Structure 1
Amino acid sequence: MHATESDPAPPADCTAADPPVSIADSVRLRKALGTRSIVLIGMMGAGKSSVGRRLAARLGLPFVDADTEIETAAGMTISDIFARHGEAHFREGERKVIARLLGGGPQVLATGGGAWMNEQTRRSVAADGVSVWLKADIDTLVRRVRRRNDRPLLHGGDVAAKLRRLSLERDPVYALADIVVRSRDVPHDEVVTEIIEALTARLAGASPEASPTPCPTP
């Protein structure tokens, strides 16, 4: 991104080197966050874990994946929990684990696709966190989830049709989130920057600044 000694100087209207979100902005956001967690919600395949790890690294916060914590607590995979005990049992365990994790903030917490559908979980997040919906279109979700076969709700049948049905059911509830950021096929760091800007505007009272003019590629 930054020029070497042999590179020509960028045009006067081109901003180089500095990232869109500065270290000072990150510190200010962490201070405004206090003990609250940044809670990522959205459909399976929305990128909550991959984006969440990068977001946590940018802000200097711990990253926690609720699904991983559920598997650790249960001593089995989520697929096995579904198979042996059913979805209702899994959802109750999920609610308890997320409630416990919210007491460990500040952190970036990625949740499973169905976690936000639980009203008690939404109340817990409202009390101890800031919710961010990573909203992705169906085509993007289909491309991503087909790379994995560990999604119990998608086993068998038409994956795209199942995702559409789940999206119709869940999107109106996801829309209750504090912040909505579109997840699409761009570098994850671009989505992370948008999340940080939206969080800063909401929590620290600052309007997101315009992105710098991109420099021409040599």
Structure 2
Amino acid sequence: MSTAVPAVVLTGFMGAGKSAVGHAVAARLGVGFLDTDSEVERTTGRSVAEIFATDGEAAFRQLEFATVARVLREFDGVVALGGGSVTVPGIRAALDGHQVVYLRVSPEVGFARVMGSARPLLAGDDPRGTYVRLLAQRCKGYDSAATATVDADQPLAGVVAAVLAAVDADTRARKDNPA
């Protein structure tokens, strides 16, 4: 087992661009990229939507917690967390000591990005209303977990540049103030 620590952890609501930004940031840093939702799917052999449908959200959150805790211990690249990760107290606690960048997306931009996609939490009569409500509920969790916040409404190149600047600033601060 490695004792490596992720270069950066990306968090934010669905539609913030965590996967696209994560791939680009990882390439720029010369490290690997891992999406925890994809990792849950890989290890269980089932899609997130299937887990939600057959086992429920609580069961998915347990799988997510176990996956995130393992990834944060073992993986030394860029990690994109699922949009609901901040609702799990154990995950928020596991993020302590990591560089966590919150990709903050507005309801308008985020919903436009996910509209028409298969998102289990948006499978109802009012997906836009659900999106706005869930985003509002989770903002405090994202803020409390983050070491930096980046505006994710801007084009990908701008988000990537801002994440890299935040990582650089956090790395310098850690070197200047070791724990």
Tell whether the structures are fold-level matches, with TM greater than 0.5: yes
The question of 1:56 aligning with 2:42 is answered no
1:204, CA displacement in angstroms? Answer: 1.2
Is the Cα–Cα contact under 8 Å of residues 21 and 159 in structure 2 kept in the other structure?
yes
Is the Cα–Cα contact under 8 Å of residues 140 and 185 in structure 1 kept in the other structure?
no
1:127-169 CA distance string (max 9 Å, x none): 4x21110000000011100141x21000022222111110111
> 1:183 pairs with 152, 156, 167, which one?
152
Q: Counterpart of 1:45?
A: 15
Aligned residues: 170
Larger Rg: 1
Identity %: 35
Q: Counterpart of 1:158?
A: 126
Structure 1 residue identity aligned to 2:64 = E
1:92-114 CA distance string (max 9 Å, x none): 00000011111223210001110
Q: Structure 1: state its 5+ residue gaps.
A: 1-33, 207-218
Q: Counterpart of 1:77?
A: 47
**Cα RMSD for the two superposed structures:** 1.6
1:62-90 CA distance string (max 9 Å, x none): 00010111011111111110111000000
Is the Cα–Cα contact under 8 Å of residues 36 and 130 in structure 1 kept in the other structure?
no
Helix, strand or coil at the partner of 1:64 = strand
1:155-205 CA distance string (max 9 Å, x none): 02222211111011100111111110010141x122111111112112214
Q: Structure 2: state its 5+ residue gaps.
A: 175-179
Helix, strand or coil at the partner of 1:180 = strand
**TM-score (structure 1 length as normaliser):** 0.74
Structure 1 residue identity aligned to 2:56 = G
**TM-score (structure 2 length as normaliser):** 0.90
Q: Counterpart of 2:109?
A: 140
> 2:164 pairs with 187, 196, 203, which one?
196
